[in-house]
Amino acid sequence: MRSRLSAKIMAEIEEIRRPEDELDDDDDIDDEDIEDESLFERLVGLSEMFPDSMRSGVSGVTSLSVSGTKWLYQFTRRSLWVVSTSFMILVLPVIFETEKAQMEQQQLQQQRQILLGPNAAVSGGMQGGLGGMPLPPGMQPQPR
């Protein structure tokens, strides 16, 4: 039973293979017999292959994609311009003034430290209680 079934399957496979062998004759065609086509002729041939509705649909989608990309590019350029100029006009002056105030404060601290000594900038005044007299050991300020 198995041998009959396998023989039948093998016969069907041989029938399927035969048309493939007949198709191999196409390799015998010379390349010189084929005319050279221009790119335009090839595109025309391809366009005739598809229906008009499909070609117009693809054309519409393509033009919509191109116009959408152009709009997105223009919108991005305009938005970037607005954001960058607004930042320069509104935020940069505040940053510069803050930096200027910090530098002035640092300069004042340096001047105080130079004029009054290293402990003057930390404590804000002279050490000691009355007229430069030292405080008793239990009442001296603790270092931070």
**The pair of three-digit structure tokens given for residue 18, joined into one six-digit string:** 């035969």
120: buried, middle or exposed (CB in 10 Å: 19+, 13-18, 0-12)?
middle
- The answer to pTM > 0.95 is no
Amino acid in position 68 = G
Tokens linked to 120:
């003057």
Q: Looking at 48-57, 89-98, 109-118, 135-144, which range is the least confident one? A: 135-144
Cβ-in-10-Å burial (0-12, 13-18, 19+) of 119 comes to middle
pLDDT (mean) for 12-41: 67
CB proximity list for 135: less than 8 A, separation 6 or greater: 127, 128, 129
What is the radius of gyration, based on Cα positions, of the chain? Answer: 46
